Structure 1
Amino acid sequence: MESLASLSLEAEECFFEDTNCTLFPALDAFSPPPLLQEFCLHGGLIEIPMWLASMENLTRGFPALETLTIASQFLVEWTEIATGAFPSLRSLSFRCCLSLIFLPEGLQNISTLQELYLDSMHPDLARRLKGEENYKIKHIPKLKFCPAF
């Protein structure tokens, strides 16, 4: 798989809290092929894998990505954005991410980011962004938050 250029993964159907959904198992142990140029995930993630934002050879998505929307009722945390990842990102949205309790370290280093939208935000995340984690978002000109409760 060393020279694999395109990869698409689809999660199997599962049942979670009386909801029929598709979820990936933890993907941290997965090691993407080094020359991968296109990567598609179809299904839900509990956590963003550490290696995802540092995939350097992607030609579709990350290097020229200007808008990123993450919609997952199961995402709890995205721990880190690697330095230099998302060099063109202007807009970041989290929709239906009621379980998200931390924004990633490194978000403060994306100087191109112009807007952040958090729909149905967990109250603990809202509290932290107003206090000790405000440094992650204070450089973003347009912020829109919608608390869940």
Structure 2
Amino acid sequence: MPLWLGSMENLTRLVMASSHLSENPTTILQFLPNLKYLSMFHAYKGKRMEREFFRAGGFPKLEYLKIVSRNLVEWTEMEEGALPCLKQLYFWNCMRLMGLPEGLQHVATLQKWYCLMCMEILLGG
């Protein structure tokens, strides 16, 4: 992913589809100050997301996050203060994802959580 994408301060909506990046794009995207909508449809081929992908103050205006990934197995944690405006979290086809990250409970703005075809999450890992 080009580093200059992280400097697009006016970007409010981003859809990434079938890019299968080896590095998680959220390490750059979380610093976009006006991003409100992010959809990642098989955008990251990694199996793990850790706290550095969702840092405190990261994604300051993001309201909608959609993650579609057959590869994702583990999202370990996110820092308190990450995703401070998130209203909708959408997981689809994350069949191997073992659970939700520690720290998600601190996102007080979350209103809707969708989990479609995510058997491991629903069964409690």
Which of the five TM-score ranges fits, normalised by the shorter chain?
0.5 to 0.7
In structure 2, runs of 5+ residues without a counterpart are 7-18, 33-39
1:102: which partner in 2?
Answer: 99
Please give the residue correspondences for 1:117-136 in structure 2 after superposition, counting only pairs within 5 Å: 117-122=114-119, 124-128=120-124
Partner of 1:44, secondary structure, is: coil
Q: Kindly name which structure, 1 or 2, has the bigger radius of gyration based on alpha carbons.
A: 1
Larger relative CO (CA 8 A, sep 6+): 1 or 2? Answer: 2
Please give the residue correspondences for 1:1-149 in structure 2 after superposition, counting only pairs within 5 Å: 6-7=5-6, 22-24=20-22, 37-38=31-32, 42-54=43-55, 56=57, 62-122=59-119, 124-128=120-124
More strand, by proportion: 1
RMSD: 3.3
Could you state the TM-score of these two structures normalised by the residue count of structure 2?
0.65
Mapped to 2, the partners of 1:37 and 1:125 lie a distance apart of 28
Shift of 1:99: 0.6
In structure 1, runs of 5+ residues without a counterpart are 8-20, 130-149
Report the residue type matching 2:46 in the other structure: L
Shift of 1:23: 4.9
- Asked whether the equivalents of residues 6 and 37 of structure 1 are also in contact (C-alpha less than 8 Å), the reply is no
Off by >3 Å, runs of 4+ in structure 1: 4-7
More helix, by proportion: 2
Mapped to 2, the partners of 1:105 and 1:37 lie a distance apart of 21
Shift of 1:55: 6.4
Seen in structure 2, the aligned counterparts of structure 1 residues 101 and 85 have a Cα distance that, compared at 3 Å, is same
Identity across the alignment (%): 33
